[in-house]
Amino acid sequence: MSVELPIILVIEDDAAVQGLVEDTLSEGGFEPAIAASGEEAVTLLKGRTANYRALVTDIRLRGRMDGWEVARQAREINPQFPVVYMSGASAADWPAKGVPNSMMLEKPFAPAQLVTAVAQLLNTGAPPLAPSH
């Protein structure tokens, strides 16, 4: 098909949640791209950042890197990169470990919350993604 869609990079170990996230983003009109680990996600972002429009990541990941660290590295590559975290137990750590202008979805969350979070961060004129300098 020839319609281009905004690609969203997703890191989620839990197969059930991953399927839900993929379906939800697809129904909202996004194209989810799954990374198997934080390390793979960072490699993908370094290679062709411009291809991805946002990061959606779980906190606990199977590699050495957790979701907090992936987000920090994504922001070093692109200071304005939109970030959405998904977590249960780790949601309370967002004020200390999250990056500025990111969003935290506390599990259990509704699919509509994920789509709204990504859309808000992508829409120009929405809350700021990065400092102005």
| Residue 122 engages its own copies in binding (rule: CB under 8 A) | yes
| Residue 116 engages its own copies in binding (rule: CB under 8 A) | yes
To the nearest whole angstrom, how small is the minimum distance from the Cβ of residue 90 to its own copies? 11
| CA distance to 39, 61, 132, per residue, from 105 (Å) | 22, 16, 26
To the nearest whole angstrom, how small is the minimum distance from the Cβ of residue 109 to its own copies? 6
To the nearest whole angstrom, how small is the minimum distance from the Cβ of residue 64 to its own copies? 18
Q: Which helix (H) or strand (E) holds 22?
A: helix 15-28
* Per-residue contact string for residues 54-93; x = within reach of its own copies by CB under 8 A: ------------------xx-xx--xx-x--------xxx
Q: Could you say which residues in the range 19-38 bind its own copies, by CB under 8 A?
A: 24, 28-30
Number of residues that bind its own copies (CB under 8 A): 55
> Which residues face 86 on adjacent strands?
58, 105
CB 63 within 8 A of CB 37: yes
The residue among 39, 49, 11, 24 whose CA lies nearest residue 119 is 24
